[in-house]
Amino acid sequence: MRKKIVAGNWKMNNNKEETAQLIAALKAKGSFAGVEVKVAPTSIHLVQAVDALIDSAIEVIGQNMHQATNGAYTGEISASMLQSIGVNSVILGHSERRAYFNETDEALAEKVATAVKHDMEVVFCFGEELADRQNEQHFKVVEEQLSKALFSLPNTAWGKIVLAYEPVWAIGTGETASPEQAQEMHAFIRGLVAQQYDASVAENVAILYGGSVKSANAQEIFSKPDVDGGLIGGAALNADDFFAIVQSI
Ligand code: 13P
């Protein structure tokens, strides 16, 4: 049976004290059965978060990582730096990284390859923009994003890949894909993976949905057979809301 995952992407939110408070509030919620829970604080709070969550089932993951092993890349973070502080999973390809930091499919392919080489888990984000959906190009766009960044990976790498379908028009907008739209796209994605690899790889890859998931809509979205959890932005900044979403799975 494939994994169920709920991950909180905290983006560029929370100072040191607020990070400590959110972690303490999450820890107070107790354990989470049958679901992997992950949180992605901003990079300067990763050490603090790993330390605070050392005795908890909540995993700390990175929001981004550079493709090079090391070198003159001011402001960047490498895979081995993340691993050296106990972070073994990283979000790559978020639409905000693509839109505001010019991350291309080609650069993302390199980042994914570097993460895989370091035996890190990758939560790979992708999804169409509003105009793509309006022009009925959404399947094509998603296929291209996956194909360019992931489909050169060997079968064996897929044990470390988590897919996160995040339609750009649903991120931070309050507008969610309907459960049916999410299921339709997730089934399409699983079909692509089956076509490119095999049925077993496709069956085992977790596909998360992201984009305005709240406690009020999580259950309906998560009830769809090809939706294996969520990547949560705004609602992950509040422990009660995030916990309610985790419990919806
Ligand atoms: P929101 O849940 O705030 O729409 O953000 C989703 C997201 O981008 C998670 O990575």
Contact 82, 65 (CB under 8 A): yes
Which residues are near ligand 1 (CB < 6 Å)?
9, 94, 166, 171-172, 210-213, 231-235
Residue 69 to residues 178, 195, 210: CA-CA distances in angstroms? 40, 32, 29
Closest ligand 1 atom to Cα of 164: 10
Domains in the chain (CATH in brackets) are 14-247 (3.20.20.70)
Model's pTM, two decimal places?
Answer: 0.97
Measured by CA distance, the residue closest to atom 5 of ligand 1 is: 233
Confidence band for 200, pLDDT divided at 50, 70 and 90? very high
CA 192–ligand 1 middle distance (angstroms): 24
152 φψ region: left (φ > 0), alpha (ψ -120 to 50), beta (else):
alpha
| Torsion sign, CA atoms 201, 124, 80, 87 | negative
- The whole-number average pLDDT for the span 57-70 is 97
Confidence band for 1, pLDDT divided at 50, 70 and 90? confident
CA 71–ligand 1 middle distance (angstroms): 31
Catalytic residues: 94, 166
Quick: pLDDT tens for 172-186.
Answer: 888 888 999 999 999
Closest ligand 1 atom to Cα of 91: 10
Burial call 163-178: b when 16+ CB within 10 Å, e when fewer: bbbbbbbbbeeeebbe
pLDDT at residue 32, as a whole number? 82
pLDDT at residue 165, as a whole number? 98
**Which among 41, 50, 35, 43 is positioned nearest to 5, based on CA atoms?**
35
CA 230–ligand 1 middle distance (angstroms): 9
What is the CB neighbour count within 10 angstroms for residue 31?
Answer: 9
Give phi and psi for 147, each to the nearest 5.
-65, -45
Residue 13 to residues 8, 83, 237: CA-CA distances in angstroms? 12, 23, 8
Residue 70 CB partners (closer than 8 Å, separation 6+): 78, 80
Confidence band for 161, pLDDT divided at 50, 70 and 90? very high
Find tokens 């750009």 and name the residue: 168
pLDDT at residue 33, as a whole number? 85
- The whole-number average pLDDT for the span 227-234 is 98
Chain mean pLDDT for the chain: 97
Quick: pLDDT tens for 11-52.
Answer: 999 999 999 999 999 999 978 889 999 999 999 999 999 999
Contact 73, 110 (CB under 8 A): no
Instruction: Name the percent of the chain lying above pLDDT 90.
Output: 95
Confidence band for 129, pLDDT divided at 50, 70 and 90? very high
Contact 198, 219 (CB under 8 A): no
